[in-house]
Structure 1
Amino acid sequence: MRWNYRGWRSVGLMQKALVIFLLFVILPTIGVGVLVQYWFNEVLRDQFIGSTKRGLDTVINQLEEETALVEDIADYLILSPDMRNFLRTSPPLGRNEAEIRKQNIAGFLTFQLMSKDYIKSISITGFNGSSIEMGEPFNGDESAWLHRADNRKGGIVWSAAYTLDSDWGGSERLISLFRVLNSYSETTKPLGRLVIRLDESSIENLLKSGVFKEKSFLYVLDENGETILQPEHLPGGFRPDGKLLRKLRTEGGSASTLTIGKARYLTFYRTMEKTDWQIVAMVPESIVNEETRGLKVLTAVILASILALAVIALIRFHYTIIRPILRLKRETNRVKLGDFSARVPIESNDEIAELNRKFNDMVFTIQELVEHKYKLELRERESELKLLQNQMDPHFLYNTLDMIRWTARLEKASRSSQLIEMLSRFFRSSLNNGRYRTTILEELEWVRSYLYLQQRRLGSKLSYSLFTDADVAGAITLKASIQPLVENFLKHGWDRSKPVNTIAVRCYAAEQGEIWIDVRDNGRGLSTADAESVRASLRRSSDGIVGAMGNIHERLSIFFGEGYGLEVVQSSGDGAWIRLRIPHTQEGD
């Protein structure tokens, strides 16, 4: 068990997810789906059987009512005075009275025919020679049934289905009631015969309305098992026999399953109380399957949809959880090997995305710290090299320039003397005793010396102004942070088309303890595309910026920290506006 546990721990995350989904999602879903399908089939089968029973009971009750109404007609005719007098043998009726009796009976029979469409015709034949024929006229042999009725001596005889020719055209299948009409006062004295013919198709359709009309098979048998009504196309020549009827009677009202050939049938059995007819209805199980096929398909579709959703959930789980974790593992290994360009994409706002975001921030912070430390060390090495290169005694340079300046004065060349003095100040400020830090005021003095010399070269074409608040004059800045911007203007921003090129430097305190140094000119400036490119490079990293602006931004960011440096406020064909942002710190802070 311990070995298996260790083996499970060594399995990959994707394999674990597959096993978990297989054991706890897919297999249970299939098992539950099969059980639900089986249970659902049984429920649907029971519902079908129950609905068929109820429908069959309903139509049998209706058929019993219809046959009872037919028998009631026969009973009424026996009790009717008009009928008794119309059929009597003595004393004979007069012609007028016989016609009146006949019209009364005909009116009653007409009403019955009009109100009961399943009655095709009614025939009354008296032994006195009188007769009444109402409804559709038929011709054919009914002697067998008449003979049975004579033997019953007033009892009702229901025939099996038989065929007669109609005078209205064609032949008809009928089921008829035969009865001898006896005298009401002398019950053993026959007066005539009554035949009420019913449409077989009406009875069959009525019975089949409780089951399925097209594919079901319906048998109507009398109390002796003789066929009264049977389907035209028997399944395999089948006919219910006495053994089957006894079995169906024993099982009561439950549905039986009967196999005929290769087909299986649900068999229903009912009896009619007044006529003693036995009803056997056979419904192919294929109909049950067809009726429930839609629900089975729906169940299968639901099961397939659940499985599909489970697979989609697994795929989604892989892409939203497993894959990001594996990708995070891969990028962590890259960081471990010293590759700080490793990043993981953030594609959502969930916990995994938050973890990726924290990882990216961590790697970026580590990269910044490493680069910051590396650049500081590099700048220290450069400063040490420059100090070594500048170890020559600066007093030699200053003394030589002073000698030249005094020689110019002795020769009364005051302008040359002044120029040499400003050049001496410029060199003294640039050396700054080897220090890389200076104050804003000292930096502006260096800029003033540079602009003075340039103005003597360019004359009235150059105009400049330098301003600083007294509160920020002693604030710390880096050496060569303003002068390169001024020099950059004279080298690259000078507009020869303008009579006067102006540059202004303004140093003042801003909000949140910052000092802003604005350098504005009216030169050629930067194009819109170049200005946006410089701004984008400043936002990303100073590594992409070359020249004076990139050098100044990088040095200020390294020395003062992130958020400080250079920014392009405005640039167009009318000039450029560059701003330096540094913290307000004094010497000793």
Structure 2
Amino acid sequence: MALLLAVTVIPITISMILSNHYIKNQVTEQAIHENQKLLSLGKNNISRYMETINETSLDVYNNLNTSSSLYALIERGQSPNVNAFAFDEKNNMLIYTSMLNIYQSTRGIHQIYLEIGKNRLSYLLARGLFRSGVELESEWPESKKDNPNPFVEATHESVTYALDWSSSVKKESVFTLQRPIIRTPSDQVIGYLSMDINSAELNRVCKQLTLADEEQMYIIDREQNIICAENGVGIDSVKDMPWADKVTESASGNGVVKWTDDSFSGIIIYDTLQTNYMDWIVVKQLPYSYLYESADAIRTINTSILIVFITFVVVASVFVSYHFTKPIKRLIGHINQVQAGNFNIVVPVQGRDEVGILARRFNTMIQTIKELINSEYRLEIANKTNQLRAMQAQINPHFLYNALQSIGTLALQAKAPKVYSLISALAKMMRYNMNTSETIVSFAVELNHAKAYLELQQQRFNEGLSVVYAIEPDALAIKVPKMLLQPLIENYFKHGYENAGGSGWIRIAADIAGGEWLTIRVEDNGSGVDSVKLRELHSLLQRSGAGLLEEQSHIGISNVWMRLKLYYNDAAEMSVDSAAAGGFSVTIRIPMSSELEEQS
């Protein structure tokens, strides 16, 4: 019973462990794949949004050559030779109009702050507020005053600039695009533009990138300041989080990090968003506890099923032990008797259960074994009888051959050389056929056998048969399989010979083509075959060896073709042709490079 429990429970337990591991891996891979696609989509949305804001800030450079353009005003106002108060009084409304156009061109701008020159002129525009100032302290970061490159400040509470002394502008959560205004085409900084952008739009994108409350989403810069966060911990930076260094210092633009420590355990997926004015990293955290919820549920179900199954197996094992062991032991006792050589036993059959079926099958098997023993005995007797008959049959051909030799001698003594010639031809054919120990012969030997056969046929048909030989001398020494020519020649007399209307002829040719092929051609002027039978023959030459064995209607050609495939595999070639006016030809091409082996 313990063994039955082991072979049942252990495989199921292993299966559950492997299944749980596989499900977790699949869930992880799928989550990574889907979230990478989601981050890529979100990154593109953020990039388009930020590019819109960047292009808005570049409106400063619109209409460069127009004297009333904002760029032209900044270029004049920054000059030390211009009176700042007079300039402000004269151009205040023009600057207001240009800044208002920028403010209204993009949704989400909270306030715009413009500095012309260094500590010369300052302008602030917000909803319902526009103020200007002269010779105020610069709000621009001191370390970046001569740097011509724009940059983005991380999300922060909006600044109350010096011009807003009454704090009229409501404080909002913003990020700031800081753009130095340069004198084109040089890099000389002549002013500063600060655009505070409400972070609500970025927060909306972050929210779209999180599919559940358990997922955490961050957009951070390289200084690990938070641009926006969803389901985060409510802090301004991630500098205290150990995984932040891993992400920000990564050389690759995107990746996946499997992280486990006290602060977080799960998968971190990140992608970078880089332009000339920002270097951000989009980070998403997927806790293992969230990823593996479905796998844990499946594991719980499997465990419950295992407990139920173990209970069932225990009950079934007890039942089997008490109800099946006894009849099986009785059956084993009968098997031991059979093993000792007693085949005259019969197992008593009780019931229709599996043990009863086994007993009935055992009785049937004993009966079958007894019949097989008797059959084997009869087969052994028959085999010995056949061997005796084969030995007797082997004597008869030799007797006929020797008798023909004696008759030939009498024919010579009776001065009948023609009879002697025919008997000699017949004797040669019999000797050639009886020599079963030799299956590979030279083409000269095979040709002599064909000549003996044709000599008999010429005697039969008198002047009604002509034979033509066109044999290259070099072809005679080539080794070929035995009995290639006679079946093809015999076909002519079986199917194609016509004695009426003229004499028949058959031509046997052999030559060596290019030193690589022995080409043998047997052709006649018989009745030939019609197009249907010719197609059948072409189909026959495309069959495998098994299909050739089943052929009954073209035995001669199929026999020759099968033996060619046996000796040469697919290297040898055979083709047939028949003209509409009559005649039939068979062409065989044998590769001379193939070395033949005797087939036993």
With structure 1 as the length reference, what TM-score do the two structures score?
0.41
With structure 2 as the length reference, what TM-score do the two structures score?
0.41
User: Who wins on radius of gyration, i.e. which is larger?
Assistant: 1
Of Structure 1 and Structure 2, the greater helix share is in: 1
